[in-house]
Amino acid sequence: MSKSITTKSKRDFIWLMLTFISLTGLGTVELFEQITYVTNWLVGDPVVNAERFRQFHHAVDAGVFHFPVSTIVLIGFIMLVIKKSGFMQDPVQKRAVWIAFIAYLITYGISIYIITGINVPVFNENIVPVKSIPGKLKAWGILNIFRFVLPAYGVYKLSSLLRLK
């Protein structure tokens, strides 16, 4: 009996760590994008900067990082919540997991909007009218703030589950 409890605890801890590390990485990359991309887009002429960014990312873009990491975070949360991990037994821990998961889901929703409503039309397809580009890039910058603040809050909530014994 104690062996299965220990194995389950280890499995729960592994899922927690995968989720924690991936969510940390995701939030860190969003902060990096906020500091580098938004600054570069908005200083000077946003239309020219958008064209330069389009040229810079001609072969690969940040989605190559975001998709697998976001998938790991999502699977990690599902394993913690749906599989009734040990963290879901204690009300305080359960609340921390759910708050972190909800923060991630909001971040994910914002990301979907940014990708489909801004990145693809502005950078990939180049179909946004020139006069609309500055507004789209400013919206990206504002929305992206939530894309690093919410994961940071989720990491903070998950960190309460990490205790040395």
Q: Is residue 28 part of a domain?
A: yes
Report if pTM > 0.75: yes
Looking up tokens 């729960």, which residue turns up?
A: 12
Q: Is residue 125 part of a domain?
A: yes
The per-residue pLDDT for range 105-120, each reduced to its tens digit, is: 999 999 999 999 998 9
- Whether 124 shows a pLDDT value over 90: the answer reads no
Q: Is residue 165 part of a domain?
A: no
Element (H, E) at 10: helix 2-33
Q: What angle do CA 90, 92, 93 make, to 5 degrees?
A: 65
Q: Is residue 164 part of a domain?
A: no
Query: Residue 46 sits in which domain range?
Result: 2-159
What's 121's DSSP letter?
A: I
> What's residue 58's pLDDT?
75
The per-residue pLDDT for range 2-19, each reduced to its tens digit, is: 444 466 688 999 999 999
The per-residue pLDDT for range 126-150, each reduced to its tens digit, is: 999 999 999 999 999 999 999 999 9
